[in-house]
Amino acid sequence: MKQKKLQVFDFDIPESVLEHYLTKDCIAVDTETRGLIIPRDRLCLVQISDDEGLVTFVKFQDPASLPTKKETNLKKLFEAESVTKLFHFARFDVAVMKHYLDIDINPIWCTKIASKLVRTYTDKHSLKYLVSELLGKELDKSNQTSDWARSDLTEAQLEYAANDVLVLPPLKKKLTEILEREDRLELAEKLFKTLPTICELDLKGFAGIFEH
């Protein structure tokens, strides 16, 4: 992982940060929420990183500010077709940001989907297991279930949130190599393109539409 450089903003990123990330082919993205039920558990934090190790946090502390349909710089960045947005379990993060920020994220790359396509010898596809196996590192997940809505996020929380995005680019590189080796990269790319529609189905209550 690159050396971390951290910056924190409220509600949106400034123009200078937008311009910086728009020069990248790919950025890593993650979110922190109050829980896992999207309409109930509001968005609290969005974190972004790039190949230079620049980690940007965007905090959403005022519950009254969400959901929003404002034309933000975050929206411009996440809807920019020239920049791939890299996630682990994109299905959740993409749906969260559609619901709370009215952002239609695209294009998307998901390490969890990639893992399920190539690591068929295991049912362990969490970020912690992926990082351990493919990068030989141990992620500290002790802050995963902490209070992300607090006004004074701790250093431990920010460290946790930063690491979750910093590990994604090297994971993407490793997983791409395996996808190519197993001739499944094209299939993965097709799946990534379906994610906005799947997230829309989830938000409208059709999560099990493909089941019998």
pLDDT of 7-20, one tens digit each?
999 999 999 999 99
What are the b/e assignments for 93-103, b being 16+ CB within 10 Å? bbbbbbbbbeb
One-letter amino acid at 136 equals G
User: For the whole model, what pTM was predicted?
Assistant: 0.95
Q: What is the CB-side half-sphere exposure of residue 40 using CA atoms within 13 A? A: 3
Q: Which domains does the chain have, with CATH numbers?
A: 5-203 (3.30.420.10)
- pLDDT given for residue 166 in this prediction: 97
Please calculate the CA angle 114-94-140 and round it to the nearest 5 degrees.
65
Above 90 in pLDDT, residue 197? yes
Whole-angstrom distance, CA of residue 110 vs CA of residue 67: 25
**The pLDDT value given to residue 88:** 98
Whole-number pLDDT of residue 144? 78
pLDDT in tens, 32-91: 999 999 999 999 999 999 999 999 999 999 999 999 999 999 999 999 999 999 999 999
Both tokens of 106, joined, read 């695209």
List CB contacts of 168: < 8 A, sequence separation 6 or more: 28, 30, 49, 86, 87, 88, 111
- pLDDT, tens digit, 9 for 90 and up, residues 171-187: 999 999 999 999 999 99
Cross-strand pairs, 97? none
**Percent of the chain at pLDDT above 90?**
91
**27, pLDDT greater than 80:** yes
